């Protein structure tokens, strides 16, 4: 029975897992490039930051909040024309990466902002007193000091994005979520449903464990 | 020569709720009350200043809180100058105006004839390299090794650390007695050792002045003595000017040559340490010296 199952579905599940991983890591990586910049700017321009700019801070804060308040499924559909224009399709793995990035970047911005806020004020002030410029403080003091916390944030983000990729499956993105819906839900293939759930659980555990390990390795506190 | 001329500093009572004002200078009274609404904060500041025993700076008519008012001090090159006062007297704010971590509301800081209160950008950063600072909580980067911390001023100045810089940093670590700790992280050091690392870092760029903001307040008596002795010896060896902020008369007595007593953001007494100790004229000095009937 197991052999029959594997013969029928192993290729499908392998492809689904691969698609999920591609969506997950590609969109999270791009979201981090945007999110770190946003998070740093939010941190620096806060009223008690190194470069207070209340207006810019407020506008960025609103944009980030709006990005975070849209339910992902709505964002996914609303962005379809833009997605079509950017990557040439609004379905499949490629078609879901832009909306995933748009949904994830504001989340990352807040995670990074929070990690930066945890950095010891004394250390930042000492760097300032050494005559370091703001970009230098960001590169050589703030981000390195916040690194363990940022890595822990990556685990939280990856797991949240994994959930989004499953949602994206509902509108034809591919991946494990798509398989769970098409086979598990529409075709009552319970075994397929169970295996996709198990795969997702294993992915979450792996992501968390690996990030915890890295965070511990880079944390010298 | 650091000439502090008519320095005043006032803070706006925070209008936004829950915002922590930057820096220790603003740490008095209302920092404890920032969680409330602005009106309540203002009220609590007024209430606090009404208390006779309070050392908190006063609320000005425009609603701002005055931390320093019309401070005038001359600090000679090579001096070890103590600034003493109770918590909230404005000592930290004052010392932080010297390297402009805190901008004075009015007045000038003139260093070797140059008005530094006008500096900004690269000029300000260059000036800050001439005026090093050590902190009560050490201000070390927890994710960098001891050696990397000592090298940080080079990174701040040039964006990189040369082999020469590294040699100098190792020499400074040897000077503060921590040569073997170069590759340790701050979390592996005791408080006294962390402060020695901070002193080595302060010395990296050969400063003319070192500002010591409660540098020994978090340390036990033994470490305090080690740090004070180290500071005094460095002053003798290099002629670096030390500005020592403290609430401990013991610290002043041990290393300072001159002292100013701060109360409610004003200088109430200043002069050579022996004179101030032998014949204190201000009540605040007598309290700090412990020459009051504490049972009364």
Model confidence over A82-127: pLDDT tens digits?
999 999 888 888 899 999 999 999 999 999 999 999 999 999 999 9
Q: Which residues of B touch A131 (CB under 8 A)?
A: 124-129, 153, 156-157, 205
User: To probe the interface with A, which of B34, B127, B143 has the most A CB atoms within 10 Å?
Assistant: B143
The answer to whether B30 touches B45, Cβ cutoff 8 Å, is: yes
**Least confident segment among A116-130, A180-194, B41-55:** B41-55
The answer to whether B37 touches B16, Cβ cutoff 8 Å, is: no
Q: Which residues of B touch A221 (CB under 8 A)?
A: 142-143, 185, 187
Interface subset of A 24-53, CB within 8 angstroms of B: 47-48
The yes-or-no verdict on residue B173 having pLDDT over 80 is yes
Region A31-37: mean pLDDT is 97
Given CB atoms, is A214 within the 8 Å cutoff of chain B? no
pLDDT number for residue B20: 45
Return the sign of the alpha-carbon dihedral for residues A100, A106, A107, A108.
positive
pLDDT number for residue A92: 86
- Residue in this structure with the two tokens 């946003």, named with its chain if needed: A38
Distance of CA A7 to the CA centre of its chain: 34
SS3 state at A195: helix
Q: How many CB atoms lie within 10 A of CB A120?
A: 17
Q: Return phi, psi of residue B256, to 5°.
A: -80, 150
First to last CA, chain B: 43
The pTM assigned to this predicted structure is 0.84
Instruction: Tell if the CB–CB gap between B157 and A131 is shorter than 8 Å.
Output: yes
B58 confidence band (pLDDT: 50, 70, 90):
low
Instruction: Tell if the CB–CB gap between A144 and B143 is shorter than 8 Å.
Output: yes
CA B6, CA A162: separation in Å to the nearest integer? 61
Distance of CA A54 to the CA centre of its chain: 27
Taking any CB pair shorter than 8 Å as contact, residues of chain B touching chain A are 16, 19-23, 99, 101, 122, 124-129, 131-133, 135, 137-144, 152-153, 155-157, 159, 185, 187, 198, 201, 205, 211
Of A47, A48, A131, the CB nearest to B128: A131
CA A128, CA B128: separation in Å to the nearest integer? 8
Instruction: Tell if the CB–CB gap between A129 and B185 is shorter than 8 Å.
Output: no
pLDDT number for residue B226: 94
Instruction: Tell if the CB–CB gap between A130 and B156 is shorter than 8 Å.
Output: yes
pLDDT number for residue B39: 47
CA B209, CA B173: separation in Å to the nearest integer? 19
Instruction: Tell if the CB–CB gap between A122 and B23 is shorter than 8 Å.
Output: no
**Least confident segment among A197-206, B51-60, B194-203:** B51-60
pLDDT number for residue B34: 42
User: To probe the interface with A, which of B146, B152, B203 has the most A CB atoms within 10 Å?
Assistant: B152
The answer to whether B283 touches B81, Cβ cutoff 8 Å, is: no
Instruction: Tell if the CB–CB gap between A140 and B132 is shorter than 8 Å.
Output: no
CA A114, CA A156: separation in Å to the nearest integer? 13
CA B137, CA B139: separation in Å to the nearest integer? 6
In terms of DSSP H, where are the helices of B115-272?
Answer: 121-130, 146-158, 163-175, 191-203, 221-238, 249-255
First to last CA, chain A: 53
A4 confidence band (pLDDT: 50, 70, 90):
confident
Which percentage of chain B shows pLDDT scores above 90?
63
Residue in A closest to B97 by C-alpha: A129
User: To probe the interface with B, which of A45, A127, A131 has the most B CB atoms within 10 Å?
Assistant: A131
> A139 or B12, which is more confident?
A139
Tell me the two tokens of residue A88.
């040439």
A106: closest CA of chain B, how far (Å)? 22
CA A82, CA A201: separation in Å to the nearest integer? 32
B12: closest CA of chain A, how far (Å)? 13
Residue in B closest to A128 by C-alpha: B101
CA A47, CA B147: separation in Å to the nearest integer? 33
Task: Collect all residues with Cβ–Cβ distance below 8 Å to A74 and sequence separation of at least 6.
Answer: none
B142: closest CA of chain A, how far (Å)? 6
Tell me the two tokens of residue B259.
């002292």
CA A96, CA B173: separation in Å to the nearest integer? 54
Instruction: Tell if the CB–CB gap between B156 and A221 is shorter than 8 Å.
Output: no
Which percentage of chain A shows pLDDT scores above 90?
75
Interface subset of A 97-156, CB within 8 angstroms of B: 120-123, 125-133, 136, 140-141, 144-145, 147-148
CA B263, CA A53: separation in Å to the nearest integer? 34
pLDDT number for residue B281: 85
**Least confident segment among A89-98, A101-110, B13-22, B222-231:** B13-22
A51 confidence band (pLDDT: 50, 70, 90):
very high
Q: Which residues of A touch B198 (CB under 8 A)?
A: 126
Residue in A closest to B189 by C-alpha: A221
C-alpha distances out from residue A200 to A13, A20, A103, A196, A207, Å: 11, 10, 20, 6, 11
B291 confidence band (pLDDT: 50, 70, 90):
confident
A221: closest CA of chain B, how far (Å)? 5
Of B125, B185, B187, the CB nearest to A131: B125
Q: How many CB atoms lie within 10 A of CB B206?
A: 12
Task: Collect all residues with Cβ–Cβ distance below 8 Å to A14 and sequence separation of at least 6.
Answer: none
B284: closest CA of chain A, how far (Å)? 29
The yes-or-no verdict on residue A146 having pLDDT over 60 is yes
A169: closest CA of chain B, how far (Å)? 41
- Residue in this structure with the two tokens 């994206």, named with its chain if needed: A168
B14 confidence band (pLDDT: 50, 70, 90):
low
């Amino acid at each position: 029975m197991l052999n029959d199952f594997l013969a029928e579905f192993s290729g499908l599940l392998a492809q689904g897992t691969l698609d999920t991983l591609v969506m997950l890591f590609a969109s999270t990586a791009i979201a981090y490039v945007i999110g770190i910049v946003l998070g740093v700017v939010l941190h620096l321009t806060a009223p008690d930051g190194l470069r207070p700019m209340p207006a810019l801070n407020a506008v960025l804060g609103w944009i980030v909040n709006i990005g975070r308040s849209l339910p992902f499924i709505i964002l996914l559909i609303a962005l379809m024309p833009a997605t079509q224009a950017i990557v040439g399709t609004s379905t499949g793995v490629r078609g879901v990466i832009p909306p995933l990035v748009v949904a994830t970047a504001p989340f990352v911005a807040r995670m990074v902002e929070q990690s930066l806020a945890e950095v010891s004020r004394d250390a930042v002030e000492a760097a300032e007193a050494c005559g370091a410029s703001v970009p230098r403080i960001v590169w050589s003091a703030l981000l390195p000091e916040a690194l363990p916390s940022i890595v822990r944030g990556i685990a939280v983000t990856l797991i949240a994005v994994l959930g989004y990729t499953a949602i994206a499956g509902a509108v034809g993105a591919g991946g494990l979520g798509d398989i769970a819906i098409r086979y598990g839900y529409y075709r009552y293939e319970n075994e397929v449903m169970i295996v996709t759930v198990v795969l997702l659980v294993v992915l979450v555990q792996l992501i968390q464990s690996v990030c915890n390990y890295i965070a511990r390795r880079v944390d010298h506190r | 020569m650091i000439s502090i001329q008519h320095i005043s500093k006032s803070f706006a009572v925070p209008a936004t709720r829950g915002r922590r004002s930057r820096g220790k200078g603003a740490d008095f009274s209302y920092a404890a009350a920032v969680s409330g609404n602005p009106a309540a904060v203002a009220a609590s500041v007024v209430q606090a200043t009404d208390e006779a025993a309070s050392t908190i700076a006063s609320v000005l008519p425009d609603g701002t809180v005055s931390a320093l008012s019309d401070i005038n001090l001359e600090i000679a090159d090579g001096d070890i100058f103590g600034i003493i006062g109770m918590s909230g007297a404005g000592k930290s704010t004052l010392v932080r105006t010297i390297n402009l971590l805190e901008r004075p509301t009015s007045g000038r800081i003139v260093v070797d004839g140059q008005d530094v209160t006008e500096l900004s950008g690269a000029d300000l950063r260059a000036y800050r390299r001439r005026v090093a600072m050590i902190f009560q909580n050490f201000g070390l980067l927890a994710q960098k090794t001891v050696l990397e911390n000592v090298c940080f001023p080079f990174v701040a100045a040039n964006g990189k650390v040369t082999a020469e810089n590294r040699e100098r940093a190792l020499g400074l670590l040897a000077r503060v007695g921590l040569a073997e700790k170069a590759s340790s992280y701050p979390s592996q050091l005791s408080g006294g050792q962390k402060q020695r690392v901070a002193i080595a870092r302060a010395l990296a760029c050969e400063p003319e002045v070192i500002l010591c903001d409660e540098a020994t307040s978090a340390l036990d008596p033994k470490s305090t003595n080690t740090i004070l002795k180290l500071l005094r010896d460095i002053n003798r060896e290099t002629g670096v000017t030390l500005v020592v902020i403290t609430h401990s008369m013991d610290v002043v007595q041990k290393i300072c040559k001159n002292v100013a007593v701060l109360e409610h953001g004003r200088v109430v007494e200043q002069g050579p340490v022996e004179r101030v100790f032998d014949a204190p004229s201000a009540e605040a000095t007598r309290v700090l010296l412990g020459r009051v009937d504490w049972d009364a």
